[in-house]
Amino acid sequence: MKELSNYDYYTQDSVDGYQELVDYITEELMGDYWVYRAQHENGELGTTFERACQNSHLTLDSDAPGTEDNMIREFARVYDGDDRENVQNDKLYCLSLMRHYGAPSRLLDFTYSMYVAVYFALECAYDNVPKKASGELDYENPTRSCAIWCIDTKELVARINDKYKDKYPELIANITARSDDSRRENETFLPLYMENKYKFVGHENPLLLHRRLHLQQGTFLCPGNISVPFMENLLYPYRDYGKTDKIRKIICRFQVSDLQEAFKQSIRMNMTREGLFPGLDGFAQSMKYQLWFYRKLVDWRREIT
């Protein structure tokens, strides 16, 4: 019997251009329960912690749990913000701040907003310059690409419930409990993610949101077992059902001219890196994606002088 790959369990589609991408998501994947993530076209979903372990030649099955535990402990000891008590007493809040400041984390960023995801897709495509056969970057190639992953979290919870309700009712009880704000604490988080090895992905957010997470309408997908890859966690509850259209990877291809027009529309919608990453760093980083605008200013200023 043929061994099925991850690809056999999720749906992959492709679109060309900004408007086709927006239309596709609007018509097919809009709803209160969908979350979105833009990233490079190649590969599947994986956390920064998973990649850091690979880069450091650490194995997930034996090295990951203890390594993560020590990282969380060290971050909580060093952190000296006004919310230090929350960092020390709430593992999810601590993990979210670690992710915020750039530490490798099991949390994978998603957003409730298709518009935020589409904006990040534009950035990702802009940065993805194709390579020539020689390995050199092909700046003359007008085509850029990226991917947007779309996941229906309502269906995700349903598959987890079907998989575990009889064998591990305590898992379902803790997932259900965390829908109550008063239960979103270590008492329910630790048994789900830190003290057992259930293979699933939970849809999580700390009760207290930092500003960037709020502005980006962000949320996290959190693997229950970091001793295995993220995709194994995600797809394990779906193994009994075959391919699903509730997890989709959309390959997006843009022409550079289309990207420029899309960035222009994003500015008019106030959807920019400056708005999503408030502060001088966000403004400075946004300049990279607006070179066409600064070049246009050259002609405008000539016209008025």
Query: Whole-angstrom Cα distance, residue 186 to residue 140?
Result: 52
Running along the chain, 305 residues long, what does each successive block of 10 average in pLDDT? Answer: 74 95 91 94 94 96 95 95 92 95 96 95 94 90 95 96 94 94 94 92 92 92 96 94 93 93 90 89 89 84 80
Taking alpha carbons only, the member of 270, 11, 287 closest to residue 119 is 270
Residue 224 in contact with residue 233, Cβ under 8 Å?
Answer: yes
Taking alpha carbons only, the member of 259, 296, 267 closest to residue 129 is 259
- Which residue type is seen at 250? I
Q: Where are the domains of the chain?
A: 6-271
- Which residue type is seen at 38? A
Q: Are strands 10-16 and 244-255 parallel, antiparallel or unpaired?
A: parallel
Q: How far is CA 150 from the centre of its chain?
A: 10
Query: Whole-angstrom Cα distance, residue 246 to residue 34?
Result: 9
pLDDT at 4: 65
- Which residue type is seen at 160? I
pLDDT at 32: 86
140 secondary structure, DSSP code: T
Longest dimension (CA), the chain: 76
Residue 227 in contact with residue 121, Cβ under 8 Å?
Answer: no
